Every structure is written in C-alpha cells, then in structure tokens.
A and B are shown apart, each in its own frame.
Chain A
Amino acid sequence: MKCTRYERWLWDELEGRLSAVQTQELRSHLQACPRCQRQWEVVQATHQALRGLPRRHAPERIRQQVRAQIQQARAPKPVVAWWKRVALAPALGLIVAAAWWGWLASQSDAPLPPEVSTTQQHSENWVEIHEQLEVADWSPTPTPNYFITTGYTR
C-alpha cells in the first residue's frame, strides 16, 4: 500500500530533497521491503549510469542539419477565414484578461482580504488544533494523533 509513496521518494532522496525524517522513514521502509530495496538499487544504478555518461558535443554538420529540419518543419500559416479572425479578437481579449487577473492575484500588492475575528471559542479552537497537530508528530504513541482526529480535544 505504501510502496507507491516511497517509490516517488527514491529520486528525491538521491537529489537530497527529503527531510531527515522522511529519509529515515524511507530507509526504514527499504530495510523492510525487498521490492523497494531492489527498486532503490535500480534507481541508484540508473542515476550513476546517467552521471557517468560522457558529455559530447554534436558535430557542426549535424547541428546545421537539425536546424534546417526545424525550419522546414514549421508549417506555413494557414489562411484563416474572415469570421474566424473576427472570433479570434474577443477570444484573445478574454485570454489576456484572464492572464491579467491571474497576474494581479499573484502580486504581493494585491488587496489583502479584510481580516475578521471569528467567534472567540471558534478561533481559539483553531489555534489549539494547530498546536496539537504540531506536537502530535512528536508523540511516541499514536493515541494523541487518533484523539485529535476524532475530536476528543475539540
């Protein structure tokens, strides 16, 4: 069940993108799962083989041939019917407007949603839940995790 998740982590581990906790979890799983261990060996071998490949530059003649073929492959512009050209303008306008909207939303000086305070009990509960989630991972038993999930601490 968990193997798919760990398989996704193998390349991340090679590239140093996993946290120490994730690395530990992965190593522990690899020790227990021969299938993933084999997969890990394959990934390592592939990575090593790829890194070991010599870097070669293509001869100038081949580069020119490739450039020429790319030029040829560019299809001639089709003749667009007049009604399609008319329809194109608003469509392009919509795309530009959507892009502008998206850009605006992503800008740091976009308006910040006005802050409200929820009911006192509500907001304090949310802060409490966050605090419990913070510590649950450091609990040596699963009970806090389970109780937080099922609302004991509500």
Chain B
Amino acid sequence: MRIVLLCWVFFWMLGGAQERPVQWLQRAQQAESSLVIAGVRITEIQAGRSVRRIEERFWRQGARSERIEILAPPERRGEILIFREGRWLVYRPSDKEALELSRMPLPGNLLLQTAIELIQAGIVQSEPPVETTLNGRTCVLLRLSLARPKPPRGVSPERREPFPASVSLWIDKETGVILRREVTMHPNAPALRTEITRLEINPRITPDMFNLPPGVVARPLEGTYKTVEEAQRVVPFPIRTPAYLPEKATLERVLVRWRGPGRAPVVILHYQTPSARFSLFQAYKTRDSAFQRPSKRPERLNVRFWQDDDYVFGLVGDLPRAEIEKIARSLSR
C-alpha cells in the first residue's frame, strides 16, 4: 500500500514539474488578474542602435487598478500613471491637471489570453518550459514563437496575428508573476524587455493611491489619436491618406510628433493587417534638404521614402515590397 502511495506521489510530483506551457500561461494570467503586488521594474526599448531605459515603481491590485511612478530617465522622474475604472491617467504631483491616455494598452491578462488562444489554435508554439532562477527566485522560462512553416488545417493564413518573432516569459514558480518578459521582432534581438527587479507580494496599499489628488482635472493627452479626423483638428496641413490599403488593414492609431517651434509636425498613421504592421509618415514643407540613403535598417522591414509636392512621405513595415509600392502610388496626387 505504501509503495503504491509513494508511486502515486512520485508521478503526481513529476506531473507538476512538467506542467504544459498553456498551464503556466494560465497561472500567469490568474496572477496578473488577481494578485496584489508592488515593486520596481525596468523596461528597455531598443531604438535603432541605442537602448532607452525606463525605471518605475509600481503598485498593482490585480487587473483592477495600478499606480506607476517613474524613477528614470531623470527628466521624466516624478511622473505618475494611474489606472482605474478602465482609464489610464498621467500627472505630475506639482500640476493641477492630469492627461488621459487616449489609446488603452491591452491589459497584461488579455495579452496572456491572446497568447493562450494562439497556442491552442496552433498559430504560436512554445518550447518546453525550462526551470531557471532570476534575482534569486525560481521561475519557469517559456519561449513563444510563431509556429512554422504554416498554420494547421482549418486556420486561415490570413487569421495570423502579427505576433512578434518571439516572446519569452520568466514566470515565478511560487506566485505565477511574470518576472521578466522579452519581445523580439527579429530573432536574437530583443526589442523590448521588462523585468521586475524588486517584488513585494501583498504590500500595504491605500485606496487613495489610485485616485487623482483633489482639484486635479483630467484632459485628453494630445499627440495620439484614434482617427485621422481627430488628428486633423491639430495638424496645420491636410493629412493625406492612401487610396489603397492591403486587405483587412486597419488604422491602429495616429501619432502627431511636433518637431519644434515654427515647424510643422510629422504625422504617423500606424496600420495593422492580419499578418503585418506598417507606418506611414508624412512631413510637410520640411527644411531637411540634404537627402541621403538611410545607412542601416532591419532586413525584415521594407522602407520607402519619397517626396510629393510639399510632402515628404515615409513608409516602413514588414509588408511585401510590392504592397509598399502600391500604397506609395496611391498617395501621389
């Protein structure tokens, strides 16, 4: 009887150690949705040849509310982001107004849900989980990447999500919290890395941490818009839109980047298709006259720059070259 019991315990433990990737993702999703945590995390964004670093202190109540205080870079130190009731607001303690981020990032638990669905549909695959340690905590490393060479039967190739080249997750074995996450758009070159360098479980949290201070009024953050019409209200030249777009392309957001006093802004229309992303840049009456070829660009991206009347256009994306040219043609007057 004892032998049978021991065998059962042995196999049960063996099974526990070999949980499937989807089960780990579900654990992480549950932790993301329900745990009360705080800590410090560092995000690094690859920007061309340089890396930008953001350090932030955070307090999170599951998926309900979150507070972020920026620690670095020094020029942004002290900015506070608050998530509550479905809104992200940002303010500085010295200011009497807060800015509402108009484009909501997809919450972490929904990102994980998406990953789970893509794995279950056979679009994304996971390497077997590997046990490792990070900052003294035992965790499981999951590496997710697009399944190759083609999606399984029944899944249309057009339904592929523009999933990054790979997403690696370091999931804390004890809590399910994702301690580190790396997103690469190109093999072996992390484009975004977020790591929790200090983690507190069930920290002391007060409700007013997730409220704006009294007297602070919220208004929309300028610079990012959902539609061209919204952006056109602040842009001093007619924004041009392509007459041709690839099938199922959707406009994800419009960014307006001001380039200094007296200079017209650059408008960026960022599109997504079921399998690619591309951005259309347009600058008006630009004074940049010395034209040179860009010296370096990622091979996976197709790039085209051209001038038409008073506009300088740029198209950047992982669309086929022919599609890029078709869009470019459709913008010419």
Do A142 and B101 contact each other (CB < 8 Å), given the known contacts A113-B306, A149-B223? yes
Please tell me if the beta carbons of A147 and B298 are within 8 angstroms of each other in the complex. no
Q: Is B22 positioned at the interface, with any CB of A under 8 Å from its CB?
A: no
Please tell me if the beta carbons of A145 and B103 are within 8 angstroms of each other in the complex. yes
List chain B residues, Cβ under 8 A from A139. 43, 105, 183, 192, 194
Contact residue among A19, A126, A131, A141 (Cβ-Cβ distance under 8 Å from B56): A141
Q: Is B198 positioned at the interface, with any CB of A under 8 Å from its CB?
A: no
Cβ contacts A113-141/B at 8 Å (1 or 0 each): 11111111011111111111111111111
Please tell me if the beta carbons of B243 and A153 are within 8 angstroms of each other in the complex. no
Q: List 11 A-B contacts (CB under 8 A).
A: A105-B243, A118-B314, A119-B290, A124-B296, A126-B281, A131-B47, A140-B181, A140-B194, A144-B43, A144-B192, A146-B221
Contact residue among A122, A131, A142, A147 (Cβ-Cβ distance under 8 Å from B46): A131
List chain B residues, Cβ under 8 A from A69. none
Q: Is B304 positioned at the interface, with any CB of A under 8 Å from its CB?
A: yes
Q: Is B326 positioned at the interface, with any CB of A under 8 Å from its CB?
A: yes
Q: Is B303 positioned at the interface, with any CB of A under 8 Å from its CB?
A: yes
Give chain A nearest CB distance to B38 CB in angstroms: 14
Tally of contacts, chain A with chain B, CB under 8 A = 218
Please tell me if the beta carbons of A126 and B316 are within 8 angstroms of each other in the complex. yes
Give chain B nearest CB distance to A36 CB in angstroms: 13
Please tell me if the beta carbons of B301 and A105 are within 8 angstroms of each other in the complex. no
Please tell me if the beta carbons of B292 and A119 are within 8 angstroms of each other in the complex. yes
Contact residue among B70, B279, B291 (Cβ-Cβ distance under 8 Å from A118): B291
Please tell me if the beta carbons of A135 and B164 are within 8 angstroms of each other in the complex. yes
CA distance A149 to B104 in the complex (A): 12
A residues lining the B interface (CB < 8 Å): 2, 19-21, 24-25, 28, 32, 105-106, 108, 110-120, 122-154
Please tell me if the beta carbons of B221 and A149 are within 8 angstroms of each other in the complex. yes
List chain A residues, Cβ under 8 A from B305. 115-118, 123, 126
B residues lining the A interface (CB < 8 Å): 41, 43, 45-48, 52, 54, 56, 58, 68, 70, 73, 76, 81, 83, 86, 88, 90, 101, 103-108, 110-111, 113-114, 117-118, 121, 159, 161-162, 164, 167, 178, 181, 183, 185, 191-192, 194, 221, 223-224, 243-244, 253, 255, 257-258, 266, 268, 270, 274, 277-279, 281, 286, 288, 290-298, 301, 303-308, 312-314, 316-317, 325-326, 328-332
List chain B residues, Cβ under 8 A from A111. 329, 332
Please tell me if the beta carbons of A123 and B164 are within 8 angstroms of each other in the complex. no
Contact residue among B121, B307, B329 (Cβ-Cβ distance under 8 Å from A116): B307
Please tell me if the beta carbons of A140 and B178 are within 8 angstroms of each other in the complex. yes
A139: nearest residue on chain B (CB-CB)? B192
A123: nearest residue on chain B (CB-CB)? B294
Give chain A nearest CB distance to B243 CB in angstroms: 7
CA distance A125 to B276 in the complex (A): 20
Q: A124, A138, A145 — which one has the most chain B CB atoms within 10 A of its CB?
A: A138
Please tell me if the beta carbons of B308 and A120 are within 8 angstroms of each other in the complex. no
Give chain B nearest CB distance to A99 CB in angstroms: 14
Contacts A124-B297, A138-B183, A141-B41 known; 13 new A-B pairs at CB < 8 A: A19-B159, A20-B114, A111-B332, A115-B306, A116-B291, A117-B291, A133-B253, A133-B277, A138-B167, A141-B58, A143-B43, A143-B68, A147-B54
